[in-house]
Structure 1
C-alpha cells in the first residue's frame, strides 16, 4: 500500500522517538530515586497497602503480582537502561519485530509504576508519556517508512494537548480572558525556575502579549496541524517556540519537552532541509503485511477510544488531565484552568528543645526545588520531576491535598528516616532527630529589583499561621516507618 508510507518523515520519527525515549529515562530514574519514601514498603503511601485495596482490573500493574522495594528498583532501573538504549538509537539496530516489543515493554513497565503511584503520579504528563510511548512503538524503526496513520495520530494527540490546554484556560479563570493571568502566574506557579523572577518583573503590557500569544498558539494554531505542508510544519514551529518559552519560565517536569517532541513529529524533512543540511533520505522497502495490519488495527482502536476525549473537548464542563482507560492509551489534557493570585508556602521546621516556647529556635528543612530560603535562587529542575516538592505546593493551596501523606511525612522527619531525608536538600538535624516538628504557612512574594541587589533576597515572606502545630514522635508514632524487616 503506497499510501501507507510517509518516507519524508524519517527525520521526524528519529527525533520524536529518541526524545520520548530520553524522557522515559528521566521518568524511570526519578521513580528509582524517590519511590522508597513515597510509595515503598515503608513509604508514606505504600504500594502493598494500595494493591491490597485496589484490584488489578482497576489499576493494571505488574506489582499486583509481586511487590518489594527490590523489585520496584529493578523495574525502574531496567526501564531506565532500556529507554536510554532506545534514546541512543538501539531501536534501529534491531529488526522491526523486536523494536516494537521493546517500546511496548517500556510502556508496560512505566504503566506499572504510574498505576500504583497514587497521588504522587496524578499528573497529566504521566499519561502523556505513556500515550506517546505507545505511538512511538507503532511508528516502526529503520526497517520501514513511518506509517501515515500513526503520524496523523501523533498530530491528533498534539491537538488534544494544545487545544485542550487552550480551552481549559478560556473556559476557566477570567484572568485568561482579560489577559492578566501572567501578572501572577510566574510568581505563583508550582516550581519557579531561575528565570521566573525576571519573567515576573516584565512590564504588564508584555504579560498581556504573552497571554494573547498563548491563546493564539493553543486555540487557533492547532487546526493548522491538519493542513498540507508547509502549513503543518509552521504550526509545529510556533508550538515549539511557545513550549521553549515555558521551559525558560518555569519547571513543568517533562510536559514541555514531550510537547516539543510531538510538535517535531509534524515537521517533514523538506522543511528542515530548507534550514539545515540533511543527508539523503533513506530508501525503505515495502512494509511487511503483518505490520500494516497491526498499525491499521491500532489506528482504528485509537479512533474508537478518542470518542470520550473528543467529547470532553466540546463539553462546557471540560475536565483536565483525565484518563478514560486504565491503560492510559487515549487521554484528555489541560493545565492551569485557574491561576492562584497569592503564593502560599509550607515551611517545615524542627527543634531539639524539650518543650517549645516563645523563645525556642526552630530550624527549617530545605527542599531541592520548592521555594524556601529567601536568598536561594530558584533552580532549574525540569525535565526531572520532584514529586514531593510539587505536592507541597498543592498542600499549601488546600490541606485536603496533603491529608493522606503529610502526617506520615512529619513522622519520618521525627525519626530521621534516611529515605525521606534523601528527598530533601538540607536536614538541620543530621545527628539526632528533632524532638518537635511543626509546619508554618507563609505568604511568599518575589522581591523587588532594589531588594535583590541590596540583600540578595529573591523572595520576601510574611507568616500567616500554623499549618501543623508542633508534634512529637509520640503523636505520630503509628505513622512512622517500621524499623524491623
Structure 2
C-alpha cells in the first residue's frame, strides 16, 4: 500500500524507537532512585494522601487502586527492563504487535508515575515522553515498512514542540524580541552545566546572534517539516544542531535529547546515507512485506484520534494567551509545549543550613547541605547531569523564584533533614553532619552570579554570591510540628 508505507524512513524509525526507549531507561532509573523519598509512603508529598484527594478519572494511575513503595520498585524495574529490550531492538524483530505492546506498557507505567507525581513531575518533558512513547508504539517492526500516518504524527509533534517554544518566547518576555535574553539566561537557568559560565561570558553581540538563530530555528525551520524529503531532512538537521548547542550550554533533563530523537524522524534514508556511507555503515533495505490488515486499522484509528485531539493544541498555538506545557487530557496525548517564556534577570538560590548548637543565635555555627546539581559551593564546577533529571534540585530553583507551589514539600524536607532521614539525604551530594541529626535548620537566600575572569583568577571562585536574607529562620522539629498543624 503505497499510501500507507513510508519505505524511505527505515533508519528514522529505528532511531525513534531506540532513542525514545533510551529516554525511558533514564526516566525509570530516576523513578527507582528518587520517587520514594519524594513521593513515597514517607515522602515529601506522599502519594497515598494525593490519591485520597484526587479521583482516578482526574489522574488515572495504577497507584490509585493500591500504593506501596514496593509497587514503585516493581513499576520502575519493569519499565527499565522493557525499555532496555527496546533499546537493543528485541521486540522490533518480531511482528508489529510486539514493539506496540512494549511501548504501550512503558506509556501506561510512566503515565501512572506522572499522574501522581504532583510538582515533582509537572514538567513539559514528562508529557513529551509520554506522547512520543505512545506514537512510537505504532511505528511497526522490521517485518513492515514504517507507517506514514505515524511518521506524520511525529512530524506534527516536532512542529508543535519547536514552534510552540518559539512562539511562547516571542509573545512573552521582551528580552527575546530585543535579542538580549541570553545576557541573563545562561547564568539564571535552572541548572547550569560545566560550560554554562563560558557561554555566559561570550561577547554580548554573539549572544544576540544566538537569540536570533534560536528564533529562526523555532519559528521558521519547523515549517520545513511540511515538505517531506530533502527539505525536511535539512530542517531536521538544523533542529538537531540547535538542540546539541543547548545540551552543551545547560542541563534540561531529557528535553533536548528527546527533541533530537524526534527530529530524526523527518530525516529520510537518502539523507541518512549521506551521513552513514562515509562511516562505512549501510542503510538497511526497506521491508517488502505489506502491513497486516489489523495493523493498518489500528494505525488509522490512532491517527484519527490524534487528529481529533489536535484541535486544542492547534488553537493554543494560534492564541495570544498561549499556554506553555499544557496537557488537554489526562492521558498526556497531543500536548502543547514551550519553554522559558520569561527570563529571570537575577539568580536567587535557597541554601539550606543546619547547626548542632543548642542556641541558633548569633554564635551558632551553620553548615551548608550540598545539592547535586544546583549551585551551592562557589568554587565547584557545575556537573553535566542531563538527560538525568534531578527533581529536588529543580524544585529548589522554583522555590528560589518564589513559587508557592514548592512550599508544600519544603517544610517536610526541612523536617527530614532534622530527622537525618537517610533516603532524603541520599538525594543530596553532601550531608555536613554525616548522618547525625542537626538541632536546627534554616533556609538562607543568596544572589548568585558567575564570576568574571578577573574574579576567577583572584579567588578561584566560579560564582560570586551576596546575602539576600532568610527564607526560613532557624526551626527545630517542634517548631515545624506547630507550623504543620
Query: Normalising by structure 2, what TM-score?
Result: 0.97
Q: What is the CA-CA distance between 1:49 and the residue it aligns to?
A: 0.5
Match of 2:129 in 1: 129
SS at match of 1:67: coil
CA distance in 2 between counterparts of 1:431 and 1:144 reads 56
Q: What is the CA-CA distance between 1:280 and the residue it aligns to?
A: 4.3
Q: 2:367 aligned with 1:357, yes or no?
A: no
What pairs with 1:17-416 in structure 2 (closer than 5 Å)? 17-277=17-277, 278-416=282-420
Match of 2:437 in 1: 433
Q: Which residue of 432, 444, 447 corresponds with 1:443? A: 447
SS at match of 2:44: coil
CA distance in 1 between counterparts of 2:83 and 2:261 reads 15
Are the aligned partners of 2:422 and 2:435 in contact in 1 as well (CA < 8 Å)?
no
Q: What is the CA-CA distance between 1:454 and the residue it aligns to?
A: 3.1
Are the aligned partners of 2:6 and 2:146 in contact in 1 as well (CA < 8 Å)?
yes
Could you tell me which runs of 5 or more consecutive residues in structure 1 were left unpaired when the two chains were aligned.
481-485
Q: Deviations over 1:370-423 (max 9, x none)?
A: 000000001101000000000100000014132211100000000000110010
CA distance in 2 between counterparts of 1:97 and 1:273 reads 29
Are the aligned partners of 2:15 and 2:261 in contact in 1 as well (CA < 8 Å)?
yes
CA distance in 1 between counterparts of 2:66 and 2:356 reads 41
CA distance in 2 between counterparts of 1:332 and 1:362 reads 44
Q: What is the CA-CA distance between 1:479 and the residue it aligns to?
A: 8.7
Distance 1:174 1:279, change over 3 A: closer
Q: What is the CA-CA distance between 1:31 and the residue it aligns to?
A: 1.1
Q: Which moved more, 1:176-185 or 1:279-288?
A: 279-288
Are the aligned partners of 1:411 and 1:473 in contact in 2 as well (CA < 8 Å)?
yes
Match of 1:483 in 2: none
Q: What is the CA-CA distance between 1:276 and the residue it aligns to?
A: 2.0
SS at match of 2:217: helix
Q: What is the CA-CA distance between 1:439 and the residue it aligns to?
A: 0.4
Q: Deviations over 1:73-108 (max 9, x none)?
A: 110111011101111111223322222111100100
Q: Which moved more, 1:376-385 or 1:276-285?
A: 276-285
CA distance in 1 between counterparts of 2:361 and 2:314 reads 58
Q: What is the CA-CA distance between 1:209 and the residue it aligns to?
A: 0.2
Q: 2:421 aligned with 1:417, yes or no?
A: yes
Q: What is the CA-CA distance between 1:274 and the residue it aligns to?
A: 2.0
CA distance in 2 between counterparts of 1:363 and 1:283 reads 63
Moved beyond 3 Å, runs of 4+: 477-480
SS at match of 1:29: helix
CA RMSD of aligned residues (A): 1.1
Q: What is the CA-CA distance between 1:429 and the residue it aligns to?
A: 1.0
Q: What is the CA-CA distance between 1:341 and the residue it aligns to?
A: 0.2
SS at match of 1:367: coil
Q: Which moved more, 1:397-406 or 1:204-213?
A: 397-406
Are the aligned partners of 1:124 and 1:321 in contact in 2 as well (CA < 8 Å)?
yes
CA distance in 2 between counterparts of 1:410 and 1:221 reads 46
Question: How many positions carry a matched residue from both structures?
Answer: 480
CA distance in 2 between counterparts of 1:80 and 1:453 reads 45
Are the aligned partners of 1:8 and 1:281 in contact in 2 as well (CA < 8 Å)?
no
Match of 1:462 in 2: 466
Query: Normalising by structure 1, what TM-score?
Result: 0.97
CA distance in 2 between counterparts of 1:147 and 1:453 reads 58
Q: Deviations over 1:206-243 (max 9, x none)?
A: 00000000000100110011114210000000000000
CA distance in 2 between counterparts of 1:442 and 1:401 reads 20
CA distance in 2 between counterparts of 1:254 and 1:115 reads 19
Are the aligned partners of 2:445 and 2:468 in contact in 1 as well (CA < 8 Å)?
yes
CA distance in 2 between counterparts of 1:229 and 1:286 reads 22
Q: Deviations over 1:150-203 (max 9, x none)?
A: 111000000000000000000000000000000000000000000000000000
